[in-house]
Structure 1
Amino acid sequence: MSQDDRQWELDAMRGLMLVLMTLTHLPTRLADPLGQPFGYVSAAEGFVLLSAYMAGRVYSAKADRQGAEAMKTAFFNRAVKLYACQLALVVFAFTAVAGLGLALREGAVTDMLAFFLERPVVATLSAGLLLYSPALLDILPIYIVFMLLSPLVLLHGMRHGWGAVMAVSLALWFGAQFGLGPALYQMATGWFDMPLRYRDMGAFEIFAWQLLWVIGLWLGTEHSEPGHQPTRFPRWMVLIAISLALFAFVWRHAVGQIPMPGQSPVNLMFDKWHLAPLRLLNLLALVVLAMYYAPWLKQHLPRWRPLEVLGKAALPVFCAHLVVALLALAAFGPANPARPVSVDLLILFMGFYTLWLVARVTLARDRRVAQRKARKGPVRLSPSGAAR
């Protein structure tokens, strides 16, 4: 059985996360009702966790087959690719999107890029250093950091076990709940002048979200081992997970995306950007259920090929969804219930058609590259060591 056959369900899940993120980020009347559809958990959490899981599976297997250096090189090359994507998105946002927003006097864009419009040189240099991350462009920078740090985490976990790694990760997550990021920022401003405000460095608290990445790396590494058996959960844990997931699902769709009205402290416990405790609990409940019922779901659910196609081309599709979301925001403004339904349908059609086209072109290109490599075959060496 090929690798694709074994992991088609992971591609489909990543494709589903991309669809949900696109629905959330496109400024249509569907953004709110389809945001966080499974409870107080967004597609971003699922996408980060799945990406880390795939990285753990792929790169731990590479370390076993080819050694630690090959694994480090692969992680670094991936980080470079992500950095190139981020730079391309930043340039696009600072030129085409900013220009369109200014021409149309669209406040949603000018507010989002306010720091760039105020201090374009500082913003451009800071974005190149992954410090300035405006809304929608603040996820790839933390991916790049995670990729660069993953070899250390992965090698330590593979050689010495995951106990210490998880303990440090939990400590950082706990610190993030009590202002670790802003505290370090204030410390840095005491050493040198920081032209950036903390809020301009991105909404995602990296010290909190690293926990998802570490959990994904750990699970992926464990599941990459030969002869690995499906994770077994005790019945009581599954029942608790069902109860928590069902409660959060009903609460979210009965009340809305904000759990409590006003400035209730309960809302802080579900905060997305800090990956707050109740949100993390909701996510872990869904993870337990997904892992427990995965064999049954894989056997009985039909394969959704479009989702698999999107998931296989995850990075180009992710970048494309940001492009269409930024263009839609600049051209049409934020979601507006008074806007004609036909306009929203046009935005959705053009957005998803673009994603589908990007995915198909990407996969076709990958097939052509693979075929050329197969035709060339392995490099043969003469007795003197020269390639021929």
Structure 2
Amino acid sequence: MKRSAQLDFFRGLLLIIITIDHSLTYNNIIKRFTYEFFGWVSAAEGFVYISGLTAGLVYYHKYVEKGGQHILEAAKNRVVTIYKYHIILLFFTFLIILSNFYITEYWAQYYSFLFDKTLLSVILGSVLLYQPVFMDILPMYTIFVAFIPILVKSLNKGLIWQVLVASIVLYIIGTIIHPYHVVDTLLGNKNIQTGFYNLLCWQLLFVLGIVSGFLFYNNKTNKIINNPSIIIVCAFFALFFFVEKNFHFGIANMDIEYLTNKPGLGFLRLLNFVVLCFLIIYIAARNRSWFTNKYICYLGKYSLEVFSFHIILILIFMPLKVYLNSIYTIKLTDNFYLYPLSSLLILFLIVPALYLAPTLVNKRIVPITK
């Protein structure tokens, strides 16, 4: 099974957008076009879905070729790898933040527990119970990947709708309760900090991705992708969400903040993502030579390394960004500014530095079939 250049491209593109969004000041005019420009959808939703889609393709192929025991071992090895990256990233994060006065001062509000109880924060972080800013993505993937063998085996038995219904039920439960809040309450430890994302809700994107990968692998998507009615409906809703998000006409009798909530993957946010995703898949399926830029694909091939490295870059350079913003700022509107110096830092230093990640880990690309 050959690598999909388009999947690598979209992973790489989303990693670039994630890096930019994590780096830019919220009211930077550039972020106006990189964060939720097409509606209530960010790069995070796309990245989780594509991770599931890739897993569905790769692990089902492994299941067909080598059987259930092999994918069990493969998933276990992947979980261990992601967990190792989490621990290493946690260590470097703590080291960076504690190493320099200016960096420490900048990140103090986000990592206060680290400064107060360093050893305890390391222990809780190693068991995924301390997940400060940027430290919650890899733990989420660690948990999701652990369930891949069960999902793949269920799909192979033809239990597609059962898998989807079970995932939707978990999503509904997640809109009511946050699983980590339950852990916080049961343990009664106010120091526990368990991340931004509600796993019960976000698992739906990952499961949708795995189901999509399974269907693509078995050539069962043609009727859906070629259905003109679905395309028209998705285009209508995508346009509606774009207009509503950017021009704020207001949806009567709806709690927009709740329905577009990001941590809990609000229903309108989920729907917004689904229609956009379908349209992108529709375009990509008809233009297989598109979305294959080799430089962007290169980042996508090393997504775990690049994602981890972008956090290190942010931790180091964000205090400098604040300093540069104080030197030169251009007010464009009451809500948006242009920060020329920090924007140049991000676009021409931090983003290009992502290409160092594969070299620093000194790891060649492993063929997708292995």
Identify the TM-score tier after normalising by the shorter chain.
0.7 to 0.9
Q: Which residue of 1 aligns with 2:356?
A: 357
Alignment partner of 2:224: what SS?
A: coil
SS of match in other structure, 1:250: helix
Other-structure match for 2:333: none
Q: Could you tell me which residue of structure 1 aligns to residue 231 of structure 2?
A: 238
Mapped to 1, the partners of 2:180 and 2:136 lie a distance apart of 17
Counterpart pick for 2:21 among 20, 24, 35: 24
| Equivalent residue pairs, number | 351
Q: Does 2:337 match 1:347?
A: no
> Which among 153, 167, 185 is matched to residue 169 of structure 1?
167
Distance in 2, Cα, partners of 1:46 & 1:229: 19
Return the alpha-carbon distance in structure 2 between the equivalents of residues 63 and 334 of structure 1: 52
Indicate how the Cα distance of structure 1 residues 273 and 80 shifts in structure 2: closer, same or farther if over 3 A, else same: same
Change (3 A) 1:229 1:31: closer
* Counterparts of 1:296 and 1:68, CA distance in 2: 33
Pick closer, same or farther for the CA change 1:178–1:107 going to 2, 3 Å. farther
The separation in 2 between residues aligned to 1:213 and 1:324, in whole angstroms, is 27
Q: Kindly state the Cα deviation for residue 186 of structure 1 after the two structures are TM-superposed.
A: 5.8
Of the three residues 183, 196, 216, the one matched with 2:191 is: 196
| Matching residue within 332, 342, 350 for 2:321 | 332
Residue deviations 1:94-151 (CA, integer Å, cap 9, x gap):
1212433xx1276541111112222222211110001111111111101000111221
Residue 272 (structure 1) shift: 0.8
Q: Using a 3 Å threshold, how does the CA distance of structure 1 residues 148 and 88 change in structure 2: closer, same or farther? A: same
Quick one: structure 1 residues 127 and 302, their matched pair in 2 at CA, closer, same or farther if it must change by over 3 Å?
closer
Rounded Cα–Cα distance in structure 1 between residues aligned with 2:191 and 2:79: 24
Contact 1:106 1:330 survives alignment (8 Å): no
Q: Deviations over 1:219-263 (max 9, x none)?
A: 1122223x55535243222111101111222333345xxx97xxx
TM-score, length basis structure 1: 0.82
Counterpart residue type for residue 14 of structure 1: R
The alignment-based identity, stated in percent, is 26
Contact preservation (8 Å) 2:184, 2:190:
no
Tell me the CA shift for residue 59 of structure 1: 0.7
Query: CA separation of 1:279/1:343 partners in 2, compared to 1, >3 Å: closer, same or farther?
Result: closer
Partner Cα distance (1:194, 1:281) in 2: 36
Q: Pairwise CA RMSD of aligned residues?
A: 2.7
1:302 to partner: Cα distance: 6.5
1:58 is paired with a residue whose SS is helix
- Paired residue for 2:281? 291
Distance 1:230 1:307 in 2: 27
In structure 1, C-alpha distance between the alignment counterparts of 2:273 and 2:324, rounded to whole Å: 27
Aligned partner of 2:213 in structure 1 is 220
Cα distance per residue 1:277-334 (max 9 Å; x no partner): 00000001012212222222325x3642211111111111111111111212244349
Counterpart selection for 2:179 from 178, 181, 187: 181
CA distance in 2, matches of 1:86, 1:335: 30
Secondary structure of the corresponding residue to residue 111 of structure 1: coil
- What TM-score do the two structures reach when normalised by structure 2? 0.86
Q: 1:43-72: CA deviations, max 9, x gaps?
A: 011011001110111011101111111101
Matched with 2:263 is 273
CA distance in 2 between partners of 1:361 and 1:323 (Å): 13
**Is the radius of gyration larger for structure 1 or structure 2?**
1
Alignment-derived partner of residue 97 in structure 1: 97
SS in 2 for 1:194: coil
Superposition map of 1:1-388 within 5 A: 3-4=2-3, 7-28=4-25, 29=28, 30-100=30-100, 103-104=101-102, 108-181=106-179, 184-185=182-183, 188-189=186-187, 193-197=188-192, 200-225=193-218, 230-233=222-225, 234-254=227-247, 265-299=255-289, 301=290, 303-333=292-322, 336=325, 338-339=328-329, 341-359=340-358, 365-366=363-364
Q: Which runs of 5+ in 1 are unaligned?
A: 371-388
1:94 & 1:320 partners in 2: Cα distance? 14
Q: 1:38 corresponds to which letter in structure 2?
A: F
Asked whether the equivalents of residues 20 and 34 of structure 1 are also in contact (C-alpha less than 8 Å), the reply is: yes
Cα distance change of structure 1 residues 48 and 325 upon mapping to structure 2, 3 Å threshold: same
Alpha-carbon distance in 1 for matches of 2:156, 2:106: 46
2-side partners of 1:266 and 1:21: how far apart?
A: 24
